Amino acid sequence: MKQFFAISLLVCLCFQSVLKLGIVAWYEANKTYVSNVLCENKAKPQMKCNGKCYLRKQLNKTENNQQNQQSKVSQTEWVEFIPVNGLTFSFHTLRTPTTYIDIYKTTTGHSPLTGIFHPPPVA
C-alpha cells in the first residue's frame, strides 16, 4: 500500500511538470489538424498562424489553472492552537549510574589490555 501511494504521488508530481511539454508535443504531432480545424485565424492566411494561436491559448489555460491552484493553496489559513494557561515545564537532571559495569570484563573473564600494543620486531 505504501508503494502504491508513493508511486501515485510521484506520478502526480511528474504530470504537473510535464503537462506543458505534453501540450507542445501534441501540437507538433497534429500540426496540420490544428491549423486546418482548430485555428482561430483560418480566415486570415496572411498571418501564417498555423495553429500557434490555439497552442498559445492552451498553454495559457494550463498556466492559469496552475496559478489558481497555487493561489488556493496560499489562501488557506493555518490556525495554530497553543494553550497558554496549561503549559508547564519541568526540567530534570539526568542521573548517571553510580557503578560502572564493564561488559567486556564480564563476558570474557579478563580485563582488556590497557597499554598500546606493539607488534614484535622483524629480524
Residues 45-90: pLDDT tens digits? 788 888 888 888 988 888 888 777 777 666 666 666 666 666 666 7
CB burial readout 74-99, b (16+ within 10 A) else e: eeeeeeeeeeeeeeeeeeeeeeeeee
pTM higher than 0.75: no
- Average pLDDT of the segment spanning 102-116: 60
* Residue located via cell numbers 497555487: 70
Residue that the C-alpha cell 492566411 belongs to: 45
pLDDT tens by residue, 15-47: 767 788 888 888 899 888 888 888 888 788 788
